[in-house]
Chain A
Amino acid sequence: METDGNSTHPSRRLFTIAAASTAASWIMTACGPKRLYEAPKERLRAAIKEMESKYSKSHGKKVTVSDAGPIPGVEFAYALDISRCIGCRRCVYACVAENNQSREPQIQWIRVMSMEKDKGVDFSHANAYYNPEEVPQEGHFYVPVGCQHCENPPCTKVCPTGATWVERDGIVVIDYDWCIGCRYCMAACPYGARHFNWEEPTIPDQEFNPNTHYLGNRPRTKGVVEKCTFCIQRARAGRYPACVEVCPVGARKFGNLLDKDSEIRYIIEHKRVLVLKEELNTVPRFFYFYAT
């Protein structure tokens, strides 16, 4: 070891200051919030500003990214009338358009399963690729399946980086900037609700929906997982999800589970209601029912 005799040398002092400040900023970022999940309001705002300018540039139009949080006293739930659904798949395409799902390769958050009436709700005999001249097809009924927004979701439990979680209003969301794309959540989901960007997603600029939410339909990159968010950008602004609006037979119902006078509560209390794969104890917030 040599003795440290000339510590006042200017370049050395400069170096010390630079090194110390680099280390300090490094430690601060390291210990500070990393995921959008725990980002404080002002940091989230800054991140969203950045997203807005980035997306506006890449899609050639003004893109807004909402950071609307959960509304106190609201827990969303969904109900789908199996006896009404005609299997037209309008919900599938409305969802694709609203939520900026990739057109090539195709990603669809809703899968409509065609089932045979004499077999009942049975996925081992279901067919997602039905393509008759006309729906509904004789002897068939339809069960559209998307994210069930479980109260006890197996997908969020398994995520190794904590990139997916349940919001206070019951919506299961993903932080696309934190997801590493390991797809453990996809293996864990009993409803096939999670979809992976196997390649760079593409959407023509004119079809891109510029009204986005940071936990919802903002653009995704290749290599991350995405899923239904109950149209979080709409739901938190007091609007119905796109699939509810587009359904031509009114089979889809959506509302606040905590509001005693809501339609969703009426359905749960007065109709025959079922949830998919009840035995797995996922406790879905997505109910299926028979109105007639």
Chain B
Amino acid sequence: MNSIRLFGGFARGSLRLILRGNRAYALWLAFLAALMVSGSLAYSNQVRTGLGLTAMRDQVSWGFYIGNFTFLVGVAAAAVVLVIPAYIYNWKPIREIVIYGELLAISAIMMCLMFVMVDIGRPDRFWHLIPPFGHLNFPSSILAWDVVVLNLYFVVNFVVATHILYRAFHGRHYIKRLVVPLVLLSIPMAVGIHTVTAFLYNGLAARPYWNSSILAPQFLASAFCSGPAILLIMIQVLRRFTRFEIQNEAIWKIAELMAYAMFLNLFLHGAEAFKEFYSNTQHVLYTRYWYWGLGSHHTLVPYAWTAVFCNLLAFGLFIVPKARRNFVTLNIGCLAIYAGVYIEKGMGLIIPGLTPDALGEIYEYYPTLTELRVAAGIFATGFLIFTLMLKVAVPISLGEFRDKQESVEAAELVETR
């Protein structure tokens, strides 16, 4: 009973925090709500009519939804990787951000699961995956692995983040014996979810574009750019609008780590491009479709080069110490990384993998309005979750949101017993 009472206080307080906010906050929520309504309408249409409302067809059987899913797995993985320097080297400046990285991971995983849900043809049969009611084809299907690791990762992050915040709310320190092992576990799991997601594609010999062992390392390298990019922008927003403080030093350190990750990403891209173009087998068709187009089919070419340009720009800005210490160029770099990785890990991974199709046919995929609206709705939902969590988490971390009644209530409870 005591814990229920304590939780009630926490929930009521959180609700009050969430409902309060300035004009900008209200506008932001209204904007997200509008996107969510639009997305829900588009999705209900899609459920009624079928996935025929998307641009996906038998030739290109996965598209924008699965692309976004892949990108967001990267975000979820990388947000937590910041934990490594914080805990292993006990580097204090980054430590303050870790909790937000975990909250970002939680939101990203929720978006991942939503993107998978909107992509499947029979969402009403989702439970077929869940034993004992369903049948999970484990360990044969890598998708089964992905279901397992993504959900585990979600639970681990959820437990750690809520535990730390909940304890802090009651003015207590988190239980070290619980948190430290879970945080340590979340590091290999972050690498794990992204590796398993890469293997999802990597294991398909039918698709030479994916069937390359460079895929998993490249996934990790690009994810370690995009996840922190979102965090860096978020931190600056928080710094401006709340009393949240973070040293510039921490931001610069993260930007430096991102530069190394981007170098690795570019290097792996180069290695793959060399192998494809120099050996010049028929398998080069997919890479060629992405960068140059095939015949009269070059819908995706502008995106491919935009991604290359963004990645190179970001690398340049982050590797030069002066540029990453200037907040204008730093933010340009963050946006460039976000755009570059979003393109290459989304559309740039899925579509060329399936074009030309298994029998050589070129079907040019380009997402329909339904897909864009549904995806925008999912992103809005994810951002809403993230915003609301931050709205509670930031005051707790700052010590502004505390349960003052706690000790009194606890005493009362003892008395009534």
Interface residues of A (CB under 8 A from B): 29-31, 34-35, 105, 111, 113, 122-126, 128, 145, 154, 157-163, 178-184, 186-192, 194-200, 221-225, 280-281
Contacts and interface: CB of A to CB of B under 8 A. Distances in A.
Q: Which of A184, A189, A224 has the most CB of B within 10 A?
A: A184
Interface stretch (B138-146, B161-169, B250-258, B331-339): B138-146
Nearest to B58: A195
Interface in B347-390: 353-354, 356-361
Contacts of A154: 204-206
Interface stretch (B13-21, B23-31, B117-125, B170-178): B117-125
A223 B129 CA distance: 16
Nearest to A160: B143
B128 A178 contact: yes
A183 B204 CA distance: 13
A126 B128 contact: no
Contact of A182 (B140, B143, B359): B143
Closest 5 CB pairs of A and B: A181-B121, A223-B121, A123-B360, A190-B206, A198-B52
Contact of B360 (A124, A188, A189): A124
B285 A124 contact: yes
Contact of B121 (A30, A34, A183): A183
A160 B51 contact: no
Interface of B: 49-52, 56-59, 61-62, 116, 119-123, 125-126, 128-129, 132-137, 140-144, 147, 200-201, 203-207, 282, 285, 353-354, 356-361
Chain A interface, >50% SS class: loop
5 contacts: A124-B356, A178-B135, A179-B125, A182-B119, A197-B121
A31 B135 CA distance: 10
A130 to B, nearest CB: 12
Contact of B120 (A122, A182, A281): A182
A290 B354 CA distance: 31
B126 A184 contact: no
Contacts of A34: 128, 133-135
A163 B128 contact: yes
Nearest to A222: B50
B119 A197 contact: no
Contact of A198 (B56, B126, B133): B56
A111 B49 contact: no
Q: Which of B52, B57, B129, B356 has the most CB of A within 10 A?
A: B52
Contacts of B59: 192
A17 B137 CA distance: 35
Contacts of A223: 50-51, 120-122
Nearest to B358: A192
A178 B147 CA distance: 17
Chain B interface, >50% SS class: loop
Contact of B136 (A157, A160, A186, A187): A160
Contact of B359 (A126, A157, A199, A280): A126
A190 B206 CA distance: 4
Contacts of B56: 198
A246 B238 CA distance: 71
A179 B412 CA distance: 56
Contact of A160 (B141, B203, B205, B357): B141
A159 B143 CA distance: 8
B132 A31 contact: yes
Contacts of B200: 184
B129 A161 contact: yes
Contacts of A159: 137, 141
Contacts of A105: 52
B206 to A, nearest CB: 4
A198 to B, nearest CB: 4
B52 A199 contact: yes
B205 A280 contact: yes
Contacts of A189: 206, 358
Contact of A124 (B141, B147, B207, B282): B282
A30 B133 contact: yes
A160 B137 contact: yes
Contacts of B132: 30-31
B61 A183 contact: yes
Given A124-B285, A183-B61, A200-B50, A158 B358 contact: no
Contact of B129 (A35, A160, A191): A160
A128 B359 contact: yes
Nearest to A201: B50
Contacts of B203: 158
A122 B359 CA distance: 9
A284 to B, nearest CB: 13
B312 to A, nearest CB: 30
Given A30-B133, A181-B122, A198-B52, 12 more contacts: A154-B205, A158-B141, A180-B120, A180-B126, A181-B120, A183-B61, A192-B359, A195-B58, A198-B57, A221-B122, A223-B50, A224-B122
